[in-house]
């Protein structure tokens, strides 16, 4: 390796040190366009061999390493001076062993890749609401799937992981091979190495009953309490979210939802076999019929479709955009709480947020996995997730101020905990593990990375 004219070069892998080289530009590209990502060096890796080369090149150049696959959490990277940013974009496809119900996911694959591969075999994965999110990062951070109240955190579906460590070694871990590492890496906050491949458990899925119902936001004071009451005794087969939304005029946003603030209820009920469709339909009707009869929706898309339809239900953007997010968990959420939420984020609040969301928890989310990792369950009734898109007069400062107002108004219900999947900034308050579990994770991380090569990738609690 040589270091000349500001460019770090490995005989096996070029690491472009400064823009505007093509390799650097490709590596720092991000789904979140707001943060400025400026590492000292950056590279795209397309194989395990190139991942090993990157680690060794960083060691020779005395650089730390940070990893970004899609850049959805780019705002949490912070200052990358003295850091090599590695962007895994492996050329190998997602593969499915239908007999074992196992998917093998290479680094760089997104959930759209996984969903399509599994669907061909009548199977489904614990995927996120957006098809563009990187599958591996989501799994390592817990993962709140729309199948989650039935099956738990997505991290619990991990069967094995292969990673390149700070020493450049390729290590595989599973319940019997370095079980301590297998425990810690699932929800432990990152910083263990470059995860180059995972195996996950799949499950049968014939159809999914999914969609959304939308009302004018002025009707939130009537609809939101009814939904909250329903969640108190909802069967675990269904997972829903309720959002107050100011939607931009994007191709993926239906025209009826582009004008003024709307209240959107979406969700999913898995239909594993044809015989399950009647039950799923009854569950959906029990939720939606009272709401539809109370206020006529402006749009209603619930239907039984192939599992891939679920990836479009949440109306997540498909193209990069500049955004700011905030997240916390809520519990003991009574009628007063839902009224506060509607008044602080809804009609008349002056909200600039694209979405103020309450995602339903409980059910299997609250139960530990049979062989769960550091984060194997989530407490609370709802996950609050507030996101603003910075365009035109909507500045990051205005977005952050609105997020603080919502967090403050719901402070009584805030559990003080978060889920790493939704933690996208370093300066927001977050904590996912109890102190004892966090200390054990830190010990295992230090064993694997004693000099802190991957320190930039660690999500550390900001509240204790």
Domain architecture of the chain: domains with CATH = 2-88 (3.30.43.10), 95-204 (3.30.465.10)
The whole-number pLDDT of residue 428 equals 66
Q: pTM of whole model > 0.85?
A: yes
Give the pLDDT of residue 11: 35
Q: Identify any residues that bridge with 416 across adjacent strands, giving them in sequence order.
A: none
Long-range contacts of 255-260 (CB under 8 A, 24+ apart): 256/214, 256/298, 256/299, 257/214, 257/298, 257/299, 257/315, 260/216, 260/217
Give the CA distances from residue 304 to residues 206, 207, 244, 256, in Å, rounded to whole numbers and listed in that order: 10, 6, 25, 22
pLDDT score for 306: 97
Q: Which residues contact 198 (CB under 8 A, 6 or more apart)?
A: 104, 105, 135, 136, 139, 158, 159, 160, 161, 162
- Cα–chain center distance at 68: 13
pLDDT in the model for residue 378: 96
- Residue 79: per-residue pLDDT: 87
The 3-state DSSP class for residue 279 equals helix
Note the pLDDT of residue 397: 95
Tokens representing residue 306 in the block: 């192939």
- pLDDT attached to residue 7: 35
pLDDT of residue 3: 32
204, with CB counted inside 10 A (0-12, 13-18, 19+), is middle
Cα atoms found within 13 Å of the Cα of residue 284, Cβ hemisphere only:
24
3-state class (DSSP) for residue 91: coil
SS (H, E, C) 9-72: ECCCCEEECCCCCHHHHHHHCCCECCCCCCCCEEEEECCHHHHHHHHHHHHHCCCEEEECCCCC
- Please tell me the distance from the alpha carbon of residue 52 to that of residue 144, in angstroms, as a whole number: 31
Q: What distance in Å separates the CA atoms of residue 104 and residue 347, rounded to the nearest whole number? A: 45
Alpha-carbon torsion angle 406, 408, 410, 416, nearest 10: 110
pLDDT in tens, the chain (464 residues): 333 222 333 434 556 655 557 788 889 999 999 888 999 999 999 999 999 999 999 999 999 999 999 888 887 788 899 999 999 999 999 999 999 999 999 999 999 999 999 999 999 999 999 999 999 999 999 999 999 999 999 999 999 999 999 999 999 999 999 999 999 999 999 999 999 999 999 999 999 999 999 999 999 999 999 999 999 999 999 999 999 999 877 777 888 888 789 999 999 999 999 999 999 999 999 999 999 999 999 999 999 999 999 999 998 988 999 999 999 999 999 999 999 999 999 999 999 999 999 999 999 999 987 789 999 999 999 999 999 999 999 999 999 999 999 999 999 999 999 999 888 776 667 889 999 999 999 999 999 999 999 999 888 767 65
SS3 104: strand
3-state class (DSSP) for residue 235: coil
315: Cα separation from own chain's centroid: 15
């Amino acid at each position: 390796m040589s270091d000349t004219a500001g460019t770090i070069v490995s005989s096996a892998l070029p690491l472009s040190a400064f823009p505007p080289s093509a390799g650097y530009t490709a590596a720092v590209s991000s789904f979140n366009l707001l943060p400025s990502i400026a590492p000292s060096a950056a590279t795209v890796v397309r194989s395990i061999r190139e991942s090993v080369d990157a680690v060794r090149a960083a060691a020779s150049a005395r650089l730390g390493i940070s990893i970004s696959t899609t850049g959805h959490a780019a705002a949490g990277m912070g200052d990358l001076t003295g850091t090599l940013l590695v962007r895994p974009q492996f050329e190998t496809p997602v593969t499915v062993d239908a007999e074992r119900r196992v998917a093998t996911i290479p680094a760089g694959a997104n959930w759209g890749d996984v969903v399509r591969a599994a669907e061909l075999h009548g199977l489904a994965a614990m995927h996120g609401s957006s098809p563009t999110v990187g599958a591996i990062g989501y799994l390592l951070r817990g993962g709140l799937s729309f199948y989650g109240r039935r099956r738990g955190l997505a991290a619990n579906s991990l069967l094995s992981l292969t990673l390149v460590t700070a020493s450049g070694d390729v290590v595989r871990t599973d319940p019997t091979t370095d079980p301590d590492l297998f425990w810690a890496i699932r929800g432990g906050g990152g910083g263990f190495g470059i995860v180059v491949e995972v195996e996950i458990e799949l499950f049968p899925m014939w159809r999914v009953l999914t969609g959304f119902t939308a009302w004018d936001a002025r009707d939130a004071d009537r609809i939101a309490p009814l939904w909250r009451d329903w969640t108190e005794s909802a069967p675990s087969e269904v997972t829903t979210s309720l959002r107050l939304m100011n939607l931009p005029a994007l191709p993926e946003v239906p025209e009826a939802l582009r004008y003024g603030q709307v209240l959107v209820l979406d969700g999913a009920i898995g239909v594993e076999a044809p015989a399950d469709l009647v039950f799923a339909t009854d569950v959906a009707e029990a939720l939606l019929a009272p709401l539809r009869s109370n206020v006529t929706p402006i749009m209603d898309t619930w239907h039984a479709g192939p599992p891939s339809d679920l990836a479009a239900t949440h109306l997540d953007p498909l193209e990069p955009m500049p955004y700011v997010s905030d997240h916390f968990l809520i519990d003991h959420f009574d009628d007063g709480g839902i009224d506060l939420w509607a008044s602080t984020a809804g009609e008349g609040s002056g909200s600039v947020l694209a979405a103020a969301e309450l995602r339903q928890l409980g059910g299997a989310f609250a139960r530990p996995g049979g062989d769960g990792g550091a984060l194997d369950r989530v407490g609370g009734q709802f996950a609050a997730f507030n996101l603003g898109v910075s365009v035109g007069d909507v500045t990051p400062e205005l977005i952050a101020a609105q997020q603080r107002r919502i967090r403050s108004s719901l402070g009584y219900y805030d559990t003080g905990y978060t889920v790493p999947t939704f933690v996208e900034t370093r300066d927001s308050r977050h904590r996912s593990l109890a102190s004892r579990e966090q200390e054990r994770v830190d010990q295992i991380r230090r064993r694997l990375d004693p000099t802190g090569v991957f320190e930039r990738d660690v999500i550390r609690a900001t509240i204790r």
